Amino acid sequence: MTSLTPLAQHYLDRFDEALKSLPGAGDRHVESLRRQGLDSFAALDFPTKRIEEWRFTNLAALTKAAANEAETIPAFPKIEARFSSPHEMVFINGRFSAEQSRLDDLPVGITILPVSQSLGQGSVLNFDETETRSLVSLNTAFMQDGVSLHVEDGIILEEVLTLTFRNDPSTEHGRHVRNLITLGEGASITLLERHEGTGRYFTNPVTRISLDRNARLQHYKLQQDSKAAFHLALVDCEIASGACYDNFCLSIGGQISRNEMRTTILGEEAESHLNGAYLMRGHQHCDTTTLTEHTVPLNNSSQIYKGVLDDNAHGVFQGKIHIFPDAQQVAGDQLSKALLLSDRAAVDCKPELEIYADDVKCSHGATSGELDEDALFYLQSRGIPFEQARKILIEAFLADVLDTVKHDDVRTLFETLSTAWLSGTQADEE
Amino acid sequence: MLEIKDLHAEVGGKEILKGINLTINPGEIHAVMGPNGAGKSTLSYVLSGRDGYEVTSGSVLYKGEDLLDMDPDERACEGVFLAFQYPVEIPGVATATFLKTALNAQKKARGEEELDAMQFLKLVREKTAELGIKDDMLKRAVNVGFSGGEKKRNEVLQMALLQPDLMLLDETDSGLDIDALKIAADGVNRLRSPERSALVITHYQRLLEYIVPDFVHVLADGQIVKSGDKSLALELEEKGYAEISAA
């Protein structure tokens, strides 16, 4: 066996010690799950470019060194945008903060707990022997906390429930949260998941979602991690008949970030919508990897991703639609567009359709290009200065994907942040 | 207003304008006519400041200042307006937003107070009513899915709002039927005043029946080979460019 990466070895070396302070310490079942996770991770190590799903994202900057715990990195100016929601659950450095959370006014029928307090209650932490994603196994081994949310049948929450994951400078490098979200029949809720922070850290959130019949989840994510951060997130979502999963991710932060999402459509009339925008500059790298599985007939999925890449930024989009045999009369659409603002910016796209049914309607498209020179000149010739003209065109490029955010307040927040990004509020200080 | 002296310009290393001399005084309308490839569009792009059109020698004074030294947006704010032969489609930008942004950018550059949404709406509705343009156009993305006539009307609307001092019309008649042509010409004629000038670039005499020029110039192979009054346009139509250019 080849030797492990320094960071993987570091995790292995400190597991026994870490176990003592992780939730479930002393609980033999939990410890055994964690140990299984650790063994699985040790066998796989961090993903490398040799793995097909990771061929465009190189984690060497993360894994080549053991955690640089003493390293201090100056804070990056964060784009400030006010967003108030009455319900907020806050995690600081991967651990629940009761003082900063506001969860008292949630209606009856919504149960939300930090995972650290609900570990005894069944399937929050699990270990799947067929799991091949080492980042999930790592998360199982080192899981610190997370959100355990259950919405009962028929419960509808109009207000946004915010889940904030804040990362402050700390001697602890890794932040491993595990979220478990289940919606009962006909339940409906809007989540805003925010990630933000300062300094160099590695965050590895793993989220499992299950939507019962006719449930509806609007899952919005704002990734505004520090530009020295590594953000490697995984979402698995199962969608029952008539249910709708609507995901939108706005990625602005991170040195290397990745959103890996799997949605499995299990019923008729079910919908999976994965959309997002990524705005990157400097040497930032953002990877979006999706898999949508249509296992039964009569349902639909869509994906629209748009990226704006400046300087040496690098975008990756890998989207796969998998239609099982007999999953007839299914519609799946996928679109990836990237706008390159610099000669050195680049994007890699790999759209994949794997279709085993014959009566389906699928489309996919991937484009990348520069700003339209003709349009720029047209705007300038009307008196609009170059920088402003450029901004107008980039905002226009993003407009249709931001329009897929159905919740007005969240859409406004995302538009405000995009505009601020364009103005260079989050300037590079590297 | 505009003084072009011995203007030479290249596109992609190839010389297109080979010594243009032309003076336009306030209130005058000049037509430049010429065959395809004579350099008509190049002249309009050089005057409006498009990238890739390199002036190799000569000068252009606009209101006594060096026009070639200004960025395209500065030229626009100083009152130069190019009506495009092929107006550009801009998906995702509503026409009303575009018009308001342009108008306010110019006002800001001139140190005037910018219009708020209500003031702008009132002004733009006056203009659309005058020009017989449906307000529905304001909500649509700039020129996206517009017919040829609608695109030209949009150019005329922009001109009416921005009130330029020097209008450069680049083949405004191309692709227009007679009704649309009349609307475009009407828009230009409404702006005619003793202080305002226009340079009308066209291949055909047809447009000049509606926008009557004070002077007509024939452009051939990058130079003005003949100048005259409006009767020159009729002569061109009758005899063709070859004969006039050779004369």
pLDDT tens for each residue of B114-160: 999 999 999 999 999 988 889 999 999 999 999 888 998 999 999 99
Contact B72 A395 (CB under 8 A): no
Does residue B247 surpass a pLDDT of 80?
no
Contact A400 B49 (CB under 8 A): no
CA distance A399 to chain B (A): 6
CA B21 to chain centre: 18
Contact B88 A397 (CB under 8 A): no
Bridge-based pairing state of the strands A230-239 and A256-265:
parallel
Contact B158 A375 (CB under 8 A): no
Q: Name every chain A residue with its beta carbon within 8 A of the beta carbon of B83.
A: none
Q: CA-based Rg of chain A, rounded to a whole angstrom?
A: 21
Contact B105 A400 (CB under 8 A): no
Return the number of CB contacts < 8 Å for A and B: 76
Rounded to whole angstroms, the Cα distance separating A256 from A58 reads 9
Chain A CA closest to residue B51 = A377
Q: Please say whether the beta carbons of A199 and A232 come within 8 A.
A: no
Chain B CA closest to residue A387 = B73
- B165 in helix, strand or coil? coil
Contact residues for A208 (Cβ-Cβ < 8 A; gap 6+) = A178, A179, A180, A181, A235, A236, A237
> Averaged over B212-220, what is the pLDDT?
94
Rounded to whole angstroms, the Cα distance separating B91 from B94 reads 8
Point out the residue among A373, A375, A386 whose CB comes nearest to the CB of B71: A386
| Edge-to-edge strands, sheet with A95-96 | A95-96, A87-92, A156-167, A188-197, A216-224, A244-251, A271-280, A300-309, A330-340, A360-369
Q: Please say whether the beta carbons of A419 and A425 come within 8 A.
A: no
Bridge-based pairing state of the strands A178-183 and A206-211:
parallel
Q: Regarding predicted confidence, which is higher, A31 or B172?
A: A31
Contact A396 B71 (CB under 8 A): no
- ipTM of predicted assembly, 2 dp: 0.96
Rounded to whole angstroms, the Cα distance separating B163 from A197 reads 50
Contact A388 B51 (CB under 8 A): no
A381 vs B: CB within 8 A? yes
CA distance A218 to chain B (A): 25
Which pLDDT belongs to residue A429?
Answer: 39
Which pLDDT belongs to residue B59?
Answer: 96
Contact A375 B87 (CB under 8 A): no
Contact B93 A400 (CB under 8 A): no
Point out the residue among B76, B84, B93 whose CB comes nearest to the CB of A383: B76
> Averaged over B19-46, what is the pLDDT?
93
Q: Name every chain A residue with its beta carbon within 8 A of the beta carbon of B87.
A: 378
Which pLDDT belongs to residue B186?
Answer: 87
The fraction of chain B above a pLDDT of 70, given in percent, is 99
Contact residues for B167 (Cβ-Cβ < 8 A; gap 6+) = B81, B83, B159, B188, B191, B196, B197, B198, B199
Contact B105 A385 (CB under 8 A): yes
Q: Name every chain A residue with its beta carbon within 8 A of the beta carbon of B162.
A: 382-383
Q: Name every chain B residue with its beta carbon within 8 A of the beta carbon of A367.
A: none
Which pLDDT belongs to residue A128?
Answer: 78
| Residue A400: HSE in the Cβ half-sphere, 13 Å Cα cutoff | 13
Contact A384 B77 (CB under 8 A): no
Distance, first Cα to last Cα, chain B: 30
Does residue B226 surpass a pLDDT of 80?
yes
Contact A392 B87 (CB under 8 A): no
Rounded to whole angstroms, the Cα distance separating A218 from A203 reads 23
User: Comparing C-alpha atoms, which of A257, A93, A229, A113 is closest to residue A182?
Assistant: A113
Transcribe A315-361 into DSSP letters: EEEEEEEEE-TT--SEEEEEEEEEEE-STT-EEEEEEEEEE--SSEE
Transcribe B193-247 into DSSP letters: -TT-EEEEEESSSGGGGTS--SEEEEEETTEEEEEESTHHHHHHHHH-HHHHHH-
Instruction: Note which residues in 389-428 of chain A have CB less than 8 A from chain B.
Output: 389, 392-393, 395-397, 399-400
Which pLDDT belongs to residue A102?
Answer: 94
Which pLDDT belongs to residue B159?
Answer: 95
Q: Name every chain B residue with its beta carbon within 8 A of the beta carbon of A383.
A: 73, 76-77, 102-103, 105-106, 109, 162
Q: Name every chain B residue with its beta carbon within 8 A of the beta carbon of A396.
A: 90-93, 141
Contact residues for A69 (Cβ-Cβ < 8 A; gap 6+) = A171, A172, A173
What pTM, to 2 d.p., does this model score? 0.90
User: Comparing C-alpha atoms, which of A96, A88, A285, A66 is closest to residue A178?
Assistant: A96
What are A15-73's pLDDT values in tens digits? 999 999 999 888 888 999 999 999 999 999 999 999 999 999 999 999 987 755 444 55
Contact A386 B73 (CB under 8 A): yes
Q: How far is CA B49 from CA A150, B20, B38, B246, in A?
A: 61, 16, 19, 31
| Residue A159: HSE in the Cβ half-sphere, 13 Å Cα cutoff | 14
Q: How far is CA B139 from CA A398, B83, B91, B97, B135, in A?
A: 18, 21, 12, 9, 8
Flag residues of chain A having pLDDT under 50.
69-71, 74-76, 426-430
Burial call A133-159: b when 16+ CB within 10 Å, e when fewer: bbbbbbbbbbbbbbbbbbbbeebebeb
